[in-house]
Amino acid sequence: MTFVRRKKVKRYEYYQVVQCHRVDGKPRQRVIMHLGKEPTVDAALENWPKEIKYLRRRAKKHRDDYEKVPEEYKNERYFKEKFKDVADSAEMQADALQARLNKLRNLRNNGVA
């Protein structure tokens, strides 16, 4: 049996897709996937593509801004942190979220979630 479990951490609520099974006759829950702040699988399937699109736009904007910086300043720490590092971080977040979205779609297609 698979269901979405709410997990409270301090004052925040997070959601996980979990599967119940038994080990030595005792019930156990195995986390299949973390949904973050999305309360349902449908909400995650609806909102994650928007979030991925936002992160990719943000990465492109910061890369474009970095390209506008004069060549002699591009190696300075301030400009690298302000533009290039932020763009790289946003791109990595988008890639990770895309991988989670693909996994969630596979789970949904296989009838698990």
Tell me what pLDDT residue 34 has: 95
Write out pLDDT tens, residues 22-50: 999 999 999 999 999 999 999 999 999 99
Closest listed residue to residue 43, CA positions, set 109, 111, 112, 104: 104
**76 φ, ψ (degrees, to nearest 5):** -70, 140
Confidence check: pLDDT of 113 > 80: no
Tell me what pLDDT residue 33 has: 94
Determine which helix (DSSP H) or strand (DSSP E) holds 5, and give its type and residue range.
strand 2-9
Closest listed residue to residue 111, CA positions, set 19, 23, 7, 39: 19
DSSP string, 43-101: HHHHHHHHHHHHHHHHHHHHHHHHHHS-GGGTTSHHHIIIIIHHHHHHHHHHHHHHHHH
- Name the residue with higher pLDDT: 32 or 76: 32
